[in-house]
Amino acid sequence: MSALLSTRALSKSFAGLRAVHEVDFDLEPGEIRALIGPNGAGKTTFVSMLIGRVAPTSGTIHFEGRDITRLPAHARVRLGMAYTFQITSVFARLDVAENVALAARRRLGGDRAAVARETAAVLERVGLAGHGDALAGDLSYGHQRLVELAMGLAQAPRLLILDEPTQGLAEGEIAAFRRLIRDVAAEATVLLIEHNMGVVMALADRITVLDFGEVLAEGSPAEIHGSAAVQAAYLGTGADA
């Protein structure tokens, strides 16, 4: 099997409450996968287990054929996974360039010139080229989301997990963001948790639907759009579409 990332019977309970229940999940290299589901479906808990922020109650996680279930988060990141936070988590009192440089430096080491080049390139790519000297905490919310994404890109990950990246962004920013993710997908596999169905339908190669901590459906955007079960559980509410 050639899956980049796979989980088997992955479960998490909080004080007896089943947040995620026996999820089998396979991510193929190079795809853009969207993970959708109603609020409280367990999406964030699920990806938190993938990256190692939350320890699973049971089940296994493999990345590139290697069992990473017990690895700490930083070791998973070193293997080539990157994660951007749902609630923006930048280094607010450091400048934007240093935020991104911190992400690049782990990979490039003490080579200052290489780090500076990579930082400048990534900032250019996300459209923050002129903001390198600003303190990250002084940026607008939309720009902070871009810093978050730039930190993900600067790590040159093989798998980029984006937890609700467009939340709170304006329409114009979302369009730019969509182009950017298309672009990133050429180099990295992308796992996207997203509420904005427009973004999901436009970007995703495949969609996985979580509901009550279980996989409700999985398929191409067209299949998911046509699925009655998904309609009932999720799209039917129409709230986020």
Partner 1 sequence: MNARILALHGGLLALLLALHFVLPVYHHGNLARVMVLACYAIGYNLLFGYTGLLSLGHAMFFAAGMYGMGMPLYHLGLGAELAFLAGIAAAGGLALVVGLLALRTVGVAFMIVTLMFSQAFYLAILLAARWTRGDEGLVLAGADRVLFGLDLTDPDIRYLLALGLFALCLSAALWLVRRPFGRVLVAIRENPERAELLGYDIFRHKLAAVVLSGMFSGAAGAAYGLMFGYVGASFAEVHFSIFPLLWVLLGGAGTVIGPFFGVLFMFYLIDISSGLTPAYMLVAGVALVLLTLFAPQGLVGEVRRRWLRWLP
Q: Which residues bind partner 1 (CB under 8 A)?
A: 51, 53, 72-75, 77-78, 82-83, 85, 89-94, 98, 101-103, 105-106, 109-110, 151, 155
Residue 181 structure tokens: 């993710």
Alpha carbon 27 to its chain centroid, in Å, reads: 13
CB of 213 to partner 1, least distance (A): 23
Closest CB to partner 1 among residues 48, 196: 48
CA 52, CA 103: separation in Å to the nearest integer? 18
**DSSP, residue by residue, 94-112:** SBHHHHHHHHHHHHHTT-H
Question: SS3 for 57?
Answer: coil
CB of 192 to partner 1, least distance (A): 17
Closest CB to partner 1 among residues 74, 179: 74
Q: How many residues does the chain have?
A: 241
CB of 82 to partner 1, least distance (A): 8
CB of 218 to partner 1, least distance (A): 27
CA 35, CA 49: separation in Å to the nearest integer? 14
CB of 238 to partner 1, least distance (A): 34
CA 54, CA 95: separation in Å to the nearest integer? 29
CA 235, CA 228: separation in Å to the nearest integer? 9
Closest CB to partner 1 among residues 107, 225: 107
Closest CB to partner 1 among residues 88, 196: 88
Closest CB to partner 1 among residues 149, 224: 149
Residue 18 structure tokens: 């089943």
